[in-house]
Amino acid sequence: MNNNSCGPSRIAGCQFTLFPMSEKFVDIILGAIEEVDTSKVWKDTDDVSTCVRGRMGHVFDVTKAIFLHAAKTGEHVAMSGTFSIGCPGDTEADSYMDESDQLLNEEKSQAISQQAGCKFSLYPMGREDYMDAIYEQIDLSKHRGVEVSHAHYATRLDGDVKDIFEAMHQSFDSVQEKVSHVTMTFTISANSPSNQS
Amino acid sequence: MNNNSCGPSRIAGCQFTLFPMSEKFVDIILGAIEEVDTSKVWKDTDDVSTCVRGRMGHVFDVTKAIFLHAAKTGEHVAMSGTFSIGCPGDTEADSYMDESDQLLNEEKSQAISQQAGCKFSLYPMGREDYMDAIYEQIDLSKHRGVEVSHAHYATRLDGDVKDIFEAMHQSFDSVQEKVSHVTMTFTISANSPSNQS
């Protein structure tokens, strides 16, 4: 496999699961999905996770919006997932790459104010100097409103959910400009009772 | 960074979060942790995730046992996490590498029968031929009792929780013998109502 096999389309994707820590988890998940416009991404859901794929901006727009609409219920909700771009052999759903730039969920997302804690890790694939690629491309200090700290195997971000996703989006985008295949794992948690003392 | 910076210790770790989809999530998490002997691993927990580190066998033993003890409550529970080995610069908690082989939770885990679905992805770092490293080392067909299927960005395993963790453990172990720094993400889900029709 070489970088050329990825093609010019640069389709991005996110495989994620939403976890409401509540008996009402089904209603919270379905309610969040109902409020989010997913028409600009390819989408597939099973009992373990949901996968959305398309242009990077829409993939982040949809993932962030689903978490925000679930978290605004006030219940303790978390989301874990993996963003991916340039995965070799991944050409399905290419038709979604023709969608326009306009983000379908940005206006509703901007109206929601929600604090959260998040841990994320970036994995540039197929590069011997992958650690340098991470250090060179990421400057989290410029993200106002997000508190950055180091965790084992991860970087921790605390702040508003929109700022957290913005910081992850920019980090992911910077690295994928230099490295063909990049994955980024994250776990974000809101309304945790252990954080409300 | 080169492979030599990893040192000879080959400390493994797992950063994971347990998600009970229930109002009783605190009791289920604390109950599971109480039943699991973590004395052979370094452990750190905050409001987003738990990190355990030590010898690979104990890291898998503890992670599997925590999920099993939570799932046996019958509630819909899931766990997402990332196993890691050979992470450059990761030398803390090295004292746990002197622990003996004996798995502290194996006997209790073997007594629990629990079906689940799981998606996992292996990421060998710092190798241009990382896809070959994955394909060469993993032969999931030999794992009896686990149904293997392909998912976007992941491999899906269905079966008993113990067999699922065994398949992940062997895959991770095979790849880390050839590649210094390996990470493996997973999401495992049990007692999902969408799976009980």
Residue percentage of chain B with pLDDT more than 70: 90
Question: Starting from the edge strand earliest in sequence, which strands make up the sheet with B42-45, in order?
Answer: B42-45, B50-54, B12-20, B77-85, B182-190, B115-124, B154-160, B146-151
Tell whether B76 lies on the interface with A, counting CB pairs under 8 A: yes
pLDDT band, very low/low/confident/very high, at B137 (cuts 50, 70, 90): low
Q: CATH number for the A9-89+112-192 domain, one of 3.30.70.930, 3.30.200.20, 3.40.1800.10, 3.40.50.300?
A: 3.30.70.930
Closest to A156 measured CA to CA, from A118, A121, A110, A101: A118
A183, A157, B20, A193: CA torsion to nearest 10: 180
Per the prediction, chain A carries an average pLDDT of 88
d(CA B85, CA A57): 32
Mean pLDDT of B74-81: 96
> Which residue's structure tokens are 């009970």?
B20
Contact B15 A80 (CB under 8 A): no
Contact A153 B189 (CB under 8 A): no
Which residues from chain A sit within 8 angstroms of residue B13, using beta carbons? Answer: 152-153
Per-residue pLDDT of B140-193, as tens digits, reads 777 778 999 988 889 999 999 999 999 999 999 989 988 888 999 999 999 998
Contact A189 B154 (CB under 8 A): no
Among A25, A82, A129, whose Cβ lies nearest the Cβ of B121? A82
Per-residue pLDDT of A73-122, as tens digits, reads 999 999 999 999 987 666 677 889 999 999 999 999 999 999 999 999 99
Mean pLDDT of B14-20: 96
Distance of CA B20 to the CA centre of its chain: 17
pLDDT number for residue A137: 67
Residue of B nearest to A129 (CA): B126
DSSP string covering B94-156, please?
GGGGG--S--SSHHHHHT---EEEEEEEEEE-S-TTHHHHHHHH--GGG-TTEEEEEETTEEE
d(CA B57, CA B169): 8
Domain coordinates of chain B in residue numbers? Answer: 9-86+112-192
Tell whether A197 lies on the interface with B, counting CB pairs under 8 A: no
Closest to A118 measured CA to CA, from A87, A84, A88, A77: A77
CA-based end-to-end distance of chain B: 51
Q: What is the CATH number of domain B9-86+112-192?
A: 3.30.70.930
d(CA B106, CA A87): 37
Radius of gyration, alpha carbons of chain A: 16
pLDDT number for residue A88: 67
The size of the A-B interface in CB pairs under 8 A is 146
Q: Which two tokens stand for residue B16?
A: 């994971």
Query: Does the structure show a pLDDT above 50 at A7?
Result: no
